[in-house]
Amino acid sequence: MLVAASELMIERSSIEISLSDIAQKSGANAALVKYHFGNKDGLLLALLARDAATELSNLEYLLAQPITSTAKLKLHIGGIIRAYHRFPYMNRLIHYLLHESVADSADEVSKFFVAPLLDFHRRLLAEGVSHGEFRQTDPVLFYTSLIGACDHLFFGRHAMSRATGVGPVTDEVCRQYIKHMETLICGGILTRAEEAAAAG
């Protein structure tokens, strides 16, 4: 059922799908969907939890790697942008569950997505500062910058396409955006010594 919901949202470029749509796509009946998830919001929450779990489970692994903080930062930027590309409905789901659904859903999203990501950013930034690679950087502002950048690329793309004629987010656009965000973020937080080292 989660696979069916995911496929439908990607096909339609929208999170506006019904339980009957999901039931028809999955071959299950709508009563079974309700039994497992309670309602549509319950299913959307489970889908976001599934998609986020894969990405968030990699954070501890990344932090433990014997590589520089700068290398970890670049891998993280690429990983986050690729996750949004893989699940193009992710940001709309996050917005909906945080702001338009019931308070319990917002609490759950904060618990399994926002809090772990913020905690990872705090620890990675602190590590980079302690190694002399990063300038002091507020983790909340960093989170806002990185996630906000993903938000606008994947959520605001429709508005940009109407205004400027840009096309959809292809694999190539994704690769270009990762390089752009690496340059933008690293240019803002790397110490001068680290910038010189990164430039080779």
pLDDT of 60 over the 60 cut: yes
Count CA atoms within 13 Å of residue 5 on its CB side: 26
Q: Are residues 122 and 186 in the same domain?
A: yes
Residue 106 parent element (H or E):
helix 103-109
Q: Can you give 40-74 as a three-state secondary structure string?
A: HHHHHHHHHHHHHHHHHHHHHHHHCCCCCHHHHHH
Q: How many domains in the chain? A: 2
Which amino acid makes up residue 16?
E
Give a yes or no: residue 43 inside a domain: no
Q: How confident is the model at residue 71 (pLDDT cuts 50, 70, 90)?
A: very high
Region of poorest pLDDT, from 28-37, 49-58, 67-76, 122-131 = 28-37
Q: Are residues 88 and 30 in the same domain?
A: no
Q: Are residues 56 and 150 in the same domain?
A: yes
Q: Are residues 99 and 10 in the same domain?
A: no
Higher pLDDT, 165 or 26: 26
Give a yes or no: residue 79 inside a domain: yes
Specify the CATH number for the domain of residue 114.
1.10.357.10
Q: Are residues 30 and 116 in the same domain?
A: no
Domain that holds residue 63: 51-199
Which amino acid makes up residue 13?
S
Q: How confident is the model at residue 198 (pLDDT cuts 50, 70, 90)?
A: low
Phi, psi values for residue 105, rounded to 5°: -65, -45
- pTM (two decimals): 0.80
Q: Are residues 129 and 89 in the same domain?
A: yes
